[in-house]
């Protein structure tokens, strides 16, 4: 009797701590748009929208890590700081996107309460693949704390005022890599 009870209790414990299944999603942007200030072409924005997989949006999914991978190069300055923000306004369903439309703030509406993800790009390195941590942004989208209106990439305001670098993005090879796990209860 004791053995069968112990075996039964052990079987229940094993089911309760079933391991999570690790997953990786490599997402291509479903919409890309580039906009530039009409008064300063260096002050430009790259807008990217990624649709998250339905499986990842389920309540048992946990976002472990997410990166935005894109190739870029800086010129006309030793370095350029790239800031990556969550977008506050639904732009991907707008008929057209410009510096002034569909925004309430020229150049794009960003989620002001969040800190940008930052990447520094050296001019001497030429075309370089950037892997920018966007984990908190993706977690906020998944949790419904932020609407998934995509990502806005821009040269930092300080760099635009001081060094005035130029940044070119390679739009042919953009991906978001999301590592997540499914916890089975």
Determine contact, residues 71/167, Cβ cutoff 8 Å. no
The β-bridge partners of 25 are 178
pTM listed for this prediction: 0.84
CATH class of the domain comprising 20-182: mainly beta
Neighbouring C-beta atoms of residue 40, cutoff 10 Å: 10
Mean pLDDT in runs of 10 for the chain (185 residues)? 45 49 91 92 91 90 94 83 93 88 94 82 80 94 94 85 80 91 79
Question: Please, is 107 exposed, middle or buried when counting C-beta atoms within 10 Å of its C-beta (0-12, 13-18, 19+)?
Answer: middle
Determine contact, residues 47/108, Cβ cutoff 8 Å. yes
Domain segments of the chain as ranges: 20-182
């Amino acid at each position: 009797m004791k053995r069968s009870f112990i075996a039964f209790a052990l079987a229940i414990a094993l089911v309760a701590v079933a391991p999570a299944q690790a997953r990786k999603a490599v997402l291509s942007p479903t919409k890309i748009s580039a906009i530039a200030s009409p008064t300063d072409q260096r002050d430009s924005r790259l807008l990217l929208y990624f649709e998250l997989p339905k499986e990842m949006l389920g309540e048992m999914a946990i976002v472990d890590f997410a990166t935005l991978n894109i190739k870029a190069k800086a010129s006309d300055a030793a370095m350029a700081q790239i800031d990556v923000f969550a977008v506050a306004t639904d732009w991907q369903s707008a008929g057209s996107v410009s510096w002034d439309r569909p925004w309430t703030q020229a150049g794009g509406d960003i989620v002001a309460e969040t800190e940008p993800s930052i990447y520094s790009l050296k001019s001497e390195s030429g075309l370089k693949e950037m892997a920018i941590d966007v984990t908190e942004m993706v977690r906020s989208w998944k949790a419904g704390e932020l609407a998934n209106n995509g990502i806005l990439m821009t040269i930092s305001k300080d760099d635009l005022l001081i060094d005035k670098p130029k940044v070119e993005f390679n739009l042919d090879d953009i991906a978001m890599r999301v590592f997540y796990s499914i916890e089975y209860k």
